Amino acid sequence: MAFMVRFEGEKDFPQAPAELWAKLSDARFLVQCFPNVESVSEAQADYVRMVLRPGFSFARGTLEATLRIVDAVPPLSARYVIANKGIGSSADVEATIALAAQDGGTRVRWTAEVKALGGLLKMVPSGLIRGAAQKVVNDTWNAVEAKVNASSVKS
């Protein structure tokens, strides 16, 4: 049985598309926005390898995760591929963003989809997966917004 959990939404930013694109297309910036990152072992503009400690009751220990930015079209869109592996579990997530100028700033339309679950995660009820994934999505967007706005104030 195929398992997919999909989220989508929009977020408005006061920055121009080119300024926002520079952040959202840089894996080194994005890794600072992910919750529960314990360490980063490799960081490039389009690729990051990290260790996460998820705060979920059904996923203990640490996860090795990679974020790869693919199909980047400056300053309009990008696709992200995230792979997580832990002891006895794995998950693959794909996300997309589309940026459009709006009212002097930028509207970001985004999607995030859990493409595959492996190992013990297959046995976790989909409601728990959905709730946990929604929390990660919300926490990540809140951190992106805070960091983008903080860096705009400094410049």
**How confident is the model over 53-71, as pLDDT tens digits?**
886 655 668 899 999 999 9
pLDDT above 50 (res 1): no
The first and second tokens of residue 64, run together, are 């090795």
For residue 133, which of 115, 108, 148 has the smallest C-alpha distance? 115
Please report, rounded to a whole number, the percentage of residues in the chain having pLDDT higher than 70. Answer: 92
Whether the pTM exceeds 0.85: the reply is yes
Residues 6+ positions from 16 with CB-CB distance below 8 Å: 101, 104, 105, 106
Domains of the chain: 5-154 (3.30.530.20)
What is the structure's pLDDT at 111?
97
**Rounded Cα distance, 53 and 37, in Å:** 7
**Rounded Cα distance, 30 and 17, in Å:** 16
The one-character DSSP state at 25 is T
Residue 100 host element (H or E): strand 89-102
Is the separation of the CB atoms in 136 and 128 below 8 Å? no
**How many Cβ atoms from other residues are within 10 Å of residue 141's Cβ?**
16
pLDDT above 50 (res 124): yes
